[in-house]
Amino acid sequence: MPMSAHPPRPVSRGKRQALTDLRQAFQPQSPLDSSPCQVAWWSRPAEAVGGDLVVVHPLPDGRRFLFVADVMGHGTPAAIVASGVRALLHLHLDAGPCRPGEVLARLGRSIHALYAGYFVTATACVLDPAAGLLTYAQAGHPPLLAGSARGVCQLSLPSLPLGVLPGERYAEETHLLEPGSAVLIHTDGITDALSDVVGAGLATLAELLQQHPAEADEQVRAVRRAVRAAGQPGDDCTVLAVTLPHAA
């Protein structure tokens, strides 16, 4: 989520270590290679730390709660808010039903109360690999990409970012995934880095998914290579890839 950029200031070794620790705190804590699906991710902040956040949370019956968020701004302030959002998310996941739309609504109320003046875009999903079902909700976030042998489709639910209105409700939809399908969730720093033409970055991302449909790790590596080849991003960049197993 771009804002006006300022030249980064040199930081001391102690502060650099503290920033590194803060950045590591955003990493998913559950195993990323958990069966039956493959999960991989990559994140690159525009500064020492950033406001992008990835959470992969195990649910009963082999399901996964997938969450990607983007706090407005860059640097340490955005990172501190992202850390708070992560803590709030886990509290809400432990406190009640994990339906994506309801989780986003509860998060939105908390962010509005605790972080006045900030807003957060997010995508929240419950993935059931056994049934091939992806239930998702969005809060002002870029479209998800779902790829299969039939091609790549965009999944999008236009809505306000978290924290804008405390009473905002978030719709859910469920998408049927074929065996071997892949899901890509990203922040807008990725598509902005791939192209400065509106819509072109998303098309490039869809092409990368189509070229690497089988492995989550390879999808993430392809996106990372493309972003790095485009130069220094002006925004935090994050991508999360999930692939389902092929039919036996």
CATH number at residue 220: 3.60.40.10
Whether the pLDDT of residue 10 is over 70: the answer is no
Q: Which domain holds residue 92?
A: 33-243
Q: What is the pTM of this model?
A: 0.87
Q: Phi-psi category of 218—alpha, beta or left, where left has phi over 0 and alpha has psi -120 to 50?
A: alpha
Whether the predicted pLDDT of 37 surpasses 70: yes
Express each pLDDT in 38-91 by its tens digit. Answer: 999 999 998 889 999 999 999 888 899 999 999 998 889 999 999 999 999 999
Structural domain contains residue 87: yes
User: Is 211 domain-assigned?
Assistant: yes
Average pLDDT over residues 194-213: 87
- 134 domain-assigned: yes
49 part of a folded domain: yes
> How does the average pLDDT of the chain come out, rounded?
86
Using the predicted structure, report yes or no on whether residue 114 has a pLDDT greater than 60.
yes
- How many folded domains does the chain comprise? 1
Closest CA to 207 of 198, 192, 194, 193: 194
**Is there a domain that residue 1 lies in?**
no
Residue 248 lies in a domain: no
Q: How many alpha carbons lie under 13 Å from residue 60 in its C-beta half-sphere?
A: 5
**Does residue 186 lie within any of the structural domains?**
yes
Residue 195: band (very low, low, confident or very high) from pLDDT cuts 50, 70, 90: confident
**Is 70 contained in some domain?**
yes
